[in-house]
Amino acid sequence: MARSDFRFFHDLRVRYSEIDGQGVVFNAHYLTYFDVAITEYFRGMAFDYSAYAKETGLDFHLVKSLVNYAKPILFDAEIQVGCRTAKIGNSSLTFILEVFEKESETIYSSGEIIWVNTDQSSHKTVRIGDNLRELIDRFEDN
């Protein structure tokens, strides 16, 4: 994908604690970058994730995480994580994410995250409500 495929980006700077013995970002931190970007994506669309969980008894479970590594990221690099909702299923959200060099088309990593909306008492999947569907559609200009 290209930067132009994303309308939301979250800026990060690589910290020393994220570097491994090879001097590059340790692979597991990419999932942290994705998670932070998704949280900020929801904040950017004015969706109060914490209130949603508390008020409805629903929350999202991660069911798939995929990370593709294209280029190593070094300490102190300024990066931007692009995030978009690629698909809204009955009970699932599919996010596409890419880690870019700041203000560049250079891609360090790409990935896919799938969440399933779940009742926290029964742990059964639950249809995503119309309010959230509409909020995402408006935010993504669908």
Walk me through the domains of the chain, giving residue ranges and CATH numbers: 3-140 (3.10.129.10)
**Sheet of strand 58-69, all strands in order from the earlier edge strand to the far edge:** 8-13, 78-88, 92-101, 107-119, 58-69
Residue 15, both tokens: 């910290």
Q: Provide the pLDDT confidence category of residue 142 given band limits of 50, 70 and 90.
A: low
User: 56: closest CA among 4, 121, 112, 2?
Assistant: 121
**pLDDT value of residue 1:** 86
Over the stretch 33-76, which tens digit does the pLDDT of each residue have?
999 999 999 999 999 999 999 999 999 999 999 999 999 999 99
> Of 84, 64, 66, nearest to 2 (Cα)?
84
